[in-house]
Structure 1
Amino acid sequence: MAGYTEDRWLKKRPDKVTGKRERTAIYGTGKRYRVKGIPGIQDRSFETS
């Protein structure tokens, strides 16, 4: 079964200059992680992975 966990607080790709991942607009609010990509199952968010 395919699927993956996505971090909603940090951008996927690191900054080219610093090498660190940048914060998104929702950093610090709401649930941080989202499980996606499982066929037939709705995406779901969690506090911790």
Structure 2
Amino acid sequence: MSKLQGIWSGLIGGTAVQTLVLAYLTIRCDWDEEAKVTSARMKKWASTK
């Protein structure tokens, strides 16, 4: 394997791993709960201004 092939293999492999991890985290996230938390933060932030 040439140096160039190694660089591209590493880049593609790293991107694939990153994509799989982010997809897993996105699927496992409780989006309704995240929306509630964000809404509470926004209300708190809006009341301080």
Fold match by TM threshold 0.5 = no
Structure 1 or 2: more strand by fraction: 1
| TM-score scaled by length of structure 2 | 0.17
Bigger relative contact order, structure 1 or 2 (CA pairs below 8 A, ≥6 apart) = 1
